[in-house]
Structure 1
């Protein structure tokens, strides 16, 4: 081990004072320091990839705990890691997250990477060393988590995901249509039009989900479809309120969630198509909630800062609460229609559908218990602003939701 690497480890372990250690690194020749810092970052990130962390998750938690440039360092670590593997050997979800982060090798060589950062960010060398060393300190605190997506180099990537969790290429085409419909729902200024787009999107997902459940039951073990888990980012501020909204949407779509606020995500358990629907609906409804909140909130400023914070928190609590009520009502109606007990033309025998849904729910719960054997119920969130609560309820009533097409639980 080099003297520089030993010094870095001592700083991270706390046996050397951070400021003193940083000062020592700044007076050491850059040819000795820079390669070791870059190698330490890449090795630490590689360990975290193997420990279950995905690019978007690591980027999010570093952005939350650190500074913006430190999140950029994670993006560069993703790019540096990926260049070791042919793209066709890397899981598609991993690649998609890297592409979303725009992870690419923009620097000319690792030996000059720190110099490239100083030029790109227009910072002095000491500031850049501080950012890299601070990133290492953040990464050192992160625990291993459940491996949900195989990291690069861990296993061969199948031609499609159908053998892993029941998705198919048909699902991808379906979800593209759903995304397009929800994008139109979010962009229109007419509530009736937004509701029509959202209803059509949910109708497509519902039809596919129920068909998939019945098909899996009829095929037995010939083509097993298994519960899956996905981590969905829950950003600050107001993480608890956003996690509550995500949980409401998940429960209606026959999924379950476990919130990990300290790591900036919730884990959603369910069957893949259902999780896709939860992810898309959560994103869409959160956009609608933020727009409605911005229109309704009182003026800020120093004098009204506390009032504004209470308003926003109460607004999101009420929005999630009312969305939960609306989704639950619609879910019951959708299930009744699907089984011919409502006003619609149900074509599915309850004796076929209901046991399948119950069995799938138990499989989901068992998967959740395996991953999280010990969980605690979250505390209720206080509501300190009546105007925020009432505005949130009203916004949830106006939010674009399907009427009678949401899948049953």
Structure 2
């Protein structure tokens, strides 16, 4: 039997039949034909290329495989992504950064049957991936960003972003909630000013940017509360977020400078929320109360709600002050950018729905979560320790 035919027979047996015995039969075929390995890898790279054409990106593939399968499958898909990368067309800086973050551990050595089984399990998943909304320029339905956006993606990171990263790193590292919240508030202030600076530059540019989009993973457990937190961070930074619960991510729409700070702040606040919840739970245990799932859900939901409120207040204060010092009337500039973001969002997601926050009925968890997000004032004049 020829090598391509071996792979074809294995695919016919396993990829379109979810039964375990079909998977075992197909894995046995592949295990018995070592010459099929190269063809099997080539077909896997084709699955990855198809995923790209359907709107998926490297981080999306790694995330869905980690969510649905096991570590061995993550290593397998990472190897396929690296195999396909030299064959892809040039892409933007965000795509390149995702490729750099793809895990580089080789799949573990194992027997041929077990390896073939894992490969077929992965290919079953890749084959069934739905089409996603396009994010990259040049994809069907994506905006034309041939003007200023590409030029800005390639410029060095600004001093402001470097300061924001430093503030958030300190907030994550400190063991004092008050200090962490003060540092986060200062970071949000700088983010708002950074957004204003970018808006002013865009207003003066001969070819203003179009809004872009990115996907940010919303990982279990307590995904709903985390999605609410991301929504609050996005809203405070002139972006909009749409949560895809089944696939475990939110799509955030906004201008490139704002998208970057949303990713930074959301990641940092998750770290801080986990630390605050761990401390609150320790106090609960000391008082004789057991930890519960409902307590954690309520804690994170309250933290997300309160943090979003405070971030918006900090951003509005910083934007108001910036508007008194710039030579551009900010209100029309920011309003036009908001319209552009909303238009992009509605074209990407013509149908959305709202969802009620579930499982947040623990009063103690809600109180502690609110307190954790409310320890420090978010007034921008608060002196830092």
- TM-score band w.r.t. shorter chain: 0.7 to 0.9
Aligned mate of 1:25, from 27, 38, 45: 27
Aligned mate of 1:2, from 5, 9, 16: 5
Deviation at 1:171, TM superposition (A): 4.3
1:251 aligns with 2:235: yes
Contact 2:72 2:118 in 1 (8 A): yes
1:101 aligns to what? 102
1:169 aligns with 2:171: no
1:217 aligns with 2:218: no
Q: Cα gap change, 1:231/1:21 in structure 2, threshold over 3 Å: closer, same or farther? A: closer
1:187 aligns to what? 173
Aligned mate of 1:266, from 236, 247, 250: 250
Q: Cα gap change, 1:241/1:3 in structure 2, threshold over 3 Å: closer, same or farther? A: same
Q: Secondary structure at the match of 2:329?
A: helix
Deviation at 1:78, TM superposition (A): 1.4
Q: Secondary structure at the match of 2:252?
A: strand
Q: Cα gap change, 1:24/1:146 in structure 2, threshold over 3 Å: closer, same or farther? A: closer
Aligned mate of 2:314, from 327, 330, 340: 330
Whole-angstrom distance in 2 between the partners of 1:54 and 1:24: 29
Q: Secondary structure at the match of 1:138?
A: helix
Q: Secondary structure at the match of 2:251?
A: strand
| Structure 2 residue runs without a partner (length 5+) | 139-144
Aligned mate of 1:357, from 315, 334, 357: 334
Deviation at 1:239, TM superposition (A): 1.1
CA RMSD of aligned residues (A): 3.0
1:139 aligns to what? 126
TM, length-normalised to structure 2 = 0.85
1:67 aligns to what? 70
Contact 1:313 1:383 in 2 (8 A): yes
1:178 aligns to what? 164
Q: Secondary structure at the match of 1:328?
A: helix
| Structure 1 residue runs without a partner (length 5+) | 107-116, 152-157, 340-345
Q: Secondary structure at the match of 1:230?
A: strand
Deviation at 1:34, TM superposition (A): 2.7
Q: Cα gap change, 1:25/1:197 in structure 2, threshold over 3 Å: closer, same or farther? A: closer
Aligned mate of 1:386, from 351, 363, 374: 363
